Amino acid sequence: MKEKELRRSLAVLPIGTVMKLTDLSARQIRYYEEQALITPERNAGNRRMFSLNDIDRLLEIKDFLADGINMAGIKEIYARQKQRAEQKQADLAKPLTDRDVRRILHDEFLNLGGLQSDKGPNYPAR
């Protein structure tokens, strides 16, 4: 029953609503789109129409930023997320060994640390 997923992907929200829902400025929302972090549809009059999935995505991005991760980092996270999705398919045929899993988790931690932005506007001087 993936009826819900379809509805969540229906782009029906104008940027104004998204601004209120995510507490982000139109500027930021458009910028994130430029960075390919979100891909809202376009409707009549070239207006952006967002879906519930976009909202979740935006909120997620907000959290990442709050954790001190920068655009590049977030892009990587989604890039890896995509890779994982693709890897998952391959893994279906060839399951990972315990040793592989450990190595992957190890890398994950190291990389997450590298994604922390080196003191930016997200690091209050307090």
From CA 34, how far away is CA 40, in angstroms rounded?
11
Which residue's CB is nearer to DNA, number 17 or number 39? 17
Nearest Cα neighbor of 14 from 53, 42, 56 is: 42
**Shortest CB 113 distance to DNA, Å:** 21
List contacts with DNA (CB under 7 A): 14-17, 19, 25-28, 30-31, 45-48, 65
Q: How far apart are CA 75 and CA 43, in angstroms?
A: 26
User: Pick from 16, 20, 85, 21: which is nearest to 52 by CA?
Assistant: 21
Best CA proximity match to 60, nearest among 47, 49, 48, 73: 73
Would you say 46 or 97 has its CB closer to DNA?
46
CB of 65 to DNA, least distance (A): 6
* Closer to DNA by Cβ: residue 16 or 95: 16
Closest CB 125 distance from DNA, rounded Å = 18
Shortest separation between residue 45's beta carbon and DNA, angstroms: 6
Give the residue with the Cβ less far from DNA, 83 or 122: 122
User: What is residue 65's three-state secondary structure?
Assistant: helix
